[in-house]
Structure 1
C-alpha cells in the first residue's frame, strides 16, 4: 500500500496518479472529499458517474422521482430494467458497482426551504443538476449561506451553460440572474426538447470543476460563464463579477434565510394561462406571429415607427445587440413589470437569441392584449447571419 491506498485503488486510479498535477496527493484529497449532487437526472447522471469513477470518497444524491422510459435518452445512470423504480435506488446500485470504494448517501426527498440547509451542510462541494428555477435559486442561496461552492449547469435543446458559483470572493447565481422569469415564459425540456448527449457534456464539465476544486488544481469556472452550443459545436466563456447589490451574497444581503422559492419564482401569469401550443396550434398561426430579418431591416431602412424589444439577458446584450436599430433590452424575467410601458398602437417586435424566448414573450404579450406583438424569426443569430455577417455570435 502507498499513502493508505490499497493495491486495487492504486491500479484503479493509476491514470490519475500518473498526472503530475494530481499524483498521490491529489488522489488522496479526492478520497477525503465529499460532493452532494442535487438531481439524479440528465446532469446528475454523468456528474455522479465521473465523480464516483474519480474516487471522490463520499457522494450524496438528492432526488424524489422514479425512472421513466423517456429519461433513458439522456439519464445514463439508469437503464431499462430500472423503469418504474426509484432513481436513487437505481443510481446507488450503478455507482456502487462502478466503484465500491465510494460511500454513496441518498436523500429521497424534494429539496425545499425547510430541509435544504440540513441536507447541503457538511459537503465540500455541490453539483446542481436540477431542472427548475425554484431549486436553482434554493441551491444557490443555501450554498452561499453555508459557504459551499457549487457547479451550476443548465441545458435546453442544443444549448448549455456551466459555471461555479458561491466560491470565496466570486459571484453567485443571483449575481447573473437576479430574478427568475415567470414559469409561463420559460419552456422546459419536456416542451422544447434536449439533445440527449448535451447533459452528458455539461454534467461532465460540472464533474470536472468539482474534481479540480477538490484536488486543488487548475482554474475553475468561478467568475466565468461557459456557453455551449452543441449544434455549432462552439464554446464561449464570459466573465462574471459579483453584484454588489446581490440580495444574497452582496455586502448588505436582504435574503438571510431560505424563502418560499415556488412563490419567488412565480405562479401562472394572470391572463396567460395558455402557452404557445394552445394559442398557436398551426404553422400558419405561427407565421402570422413572426417577421423575418429582411422585413425588420426594411422597416429600419424605411424609418418606420415600431418598438424593438430584446428579451435576452444583460450579458447577451453585451456580446451583440440591435441598439443601432432601436432595440430596447427587457430581459424575459422582467417582461411582466415592463409590459405597461409598451405602446399598444405601434408595432411591437420581440427578439431573443434564436427564437424560442421570443415565442414565449409574444404569446404572453398577446394574452395581455398586445395584438401588435410579433417575434423576429431566428432571433439575433438570423440577423447576424443574413444582415450583419460581422456581428459577434455566441
Structure 2
C-alpha cells in the first residue's frame, strides 16, 4: 500500500538537475513531481560505512537535496572491501569527508552536512532533528538502539538494515505513521535484551557486494517514502540470502498487535532458566574444547558444520529433539548466538545460552553435564 509522500515538492529544478535526473522524470509514477519532492527532502544517514556508503551515492545521484551524514570514525584499510565511498588515500581521514566529496562529485546541487560526532542518548534526537527520515547504517546494536529511540521521539521513519556474513534484513520502523498504518519499532523486532552479544563483521566476516546491495535497497525505501510511491517495507521485513540468491519477506507486528506476525520469541535463554534434563543442548564448540569440559547428554555439532550445511544440521537436530526445547551452547555465547541465527533461517527455533557455559558456571551450579565447563 502506498503511503502519503513525506515531502512537499520543491518549486522547480535547476536546468542541470533536470538534465541529470531526466530518467526519473520519465519514470511512472515517480515523474517530475516526485523528483521535486526528492529535491526538497532532507535525509539523515547514520554511519558512513558499508551501508551508508552506497546510500550516500544512491541518494545524492537520485537528487535528494540535503543529506546529513553522521559518523565519528576514520577510514581503515579493512573498510575498503565494502565501504565504497572511501579510497586508499582516505585511510586515517574522517569518513564523513569521503561522503561530502562523493556526493559533490555526483550531484553538486546536493548539500551534505558532515557531523563527525558520536551519537549518545543526550544528543541523538538533536542531531537527527529536522530530517524527513533516517537511514541507520551503524554496526553497533547499542547505537542502533539510540537511533531508534531518537526516531521514535521525533516521529520520523527509520529505514533499518543489517548485514552479517551472507545474510541481511531490511525494514522500515515508524512510530507515528499515517492513519491506518500500524506503527512498528525496533523493539517489535528485537524486544529488550533479546539481541544478546552479537558478533561483529570483524569476527564473522561480511560479503562486500551484499552490503552495497542492501545499502541500495535502503536508499530505494527512502525514495518510496519521500515521494509516496510503491509499497515501502512498513510492517514487513525483507530477508536477503546472498548464498542462495533469494529475497523473501515476513510480516512484522507493531506493538498494537494488529495484522502481521507475532513479535519474535526470545532468541536467548538465561543460565538461571536452563533446565538441562528437559531440553536438548547443542554444543557448538570444537572437539578439543568438548574433550576438556564435556556437556553430558548434549548433542555435539560444531559451528563450522552448521555453517557448512545449515539445512542438514537443522534436520539432524529436529530428529534428536523429539519435541524438546533446543538450546545452543558454547563457551561464552557468541558462537551459539550465531548458530541460533543460522538455524532460524532454516525454520528451526532454538535459543542461545546467554553468556555461554561461563554464565552457567558463574551461578555456582554444576555444569549441565555435571562437570564444570571451562569458559
**TM-score (norm. length: structure 1):** 0.69
Change (3 A) 1:229 1:8: same
CA shift for structure 1 position 120: 1.0
Change (3 A) 1:64 1:142: same
Aligned to 2:57: 49
Equivalent of residue 104 in structure 2, options 93, 96, 101: 96
1:69 and 2:66 equivalent?
A: no
Aligned to 2:219: 207
**In the alignment, is the contact (CA less than 8 A) between 1:72 and 1:79 conserved in 2?**
yes
Structure 1 residues 252-308: Cα deviation after superposition (integer angstroms, max 9, x where no partner): xxxxxxxxxxxxxxxxx9xxxxxxxxxx9966437978336676466x4xxxxxxx5
Equivalent of residue 231 in structure 1, options 234, 243, 248: 243
Indicate the SS of the match to 1:352.
helix
Q: How does 1:76-225 map to 2 (within 5 A)?
A: 76-166=84-174, 168=177, 169-181=182-194, 185-225=197-237
In structure 2, the gaps of 5 or more residues are 1-9, 258-270, 272-283, 302-312, 362-366, 371-375
Aligned to 2:41: 33
How many corresponding residue pairs?
302
Change (3 A) 1:109 1:362: closer
1:59 and 2:67 equivalent?
A: yes
**In the alignment, is the contact (CA less than 8 A) between 1:66 and 1:84 conserved in 2?**
yes
**In the alignment, is the contact (CA less than 8 A) between 2:55 and 2:215 conserved in 1?**
yes
- What is the alpha-carbon distance in structure 2 between the residues aligned to residue 286 and residue 160 of structure 1? 32
- What is the alpha-carbon distance in structure 2 between the residues aligned to residue 213 and residue 10 of structure 1? 21
Equivalent of residue 300 in structure 2, options 262, 266, 290: 290
**TM-score (norm. length: structure 2):** 0.72
Q: How does 1:210-359 map to 2 (within 5 A)?
A: 210-244=222-256, 284-285=288-289, 290-291=300-301, 296=317, 300=320, 325-328=322-325, 352-354=340-342
Equivalent of residue 356 in structure 2, options 349, 364, 369: 364
CA shift for structure 1 position 229: 0.7
In structure 1, the gaps of 5 or more residues are 246-268, 270-279, 301-307, 309-324, 337-347, 374-394
CA RMSD after TM alignment: 3.4
**In the alignment, is the contact (CA less than 8 A) between 1:68 and 1:83 conserved in 2?**
yes
CA shift for structure 1 position 98: 1.3
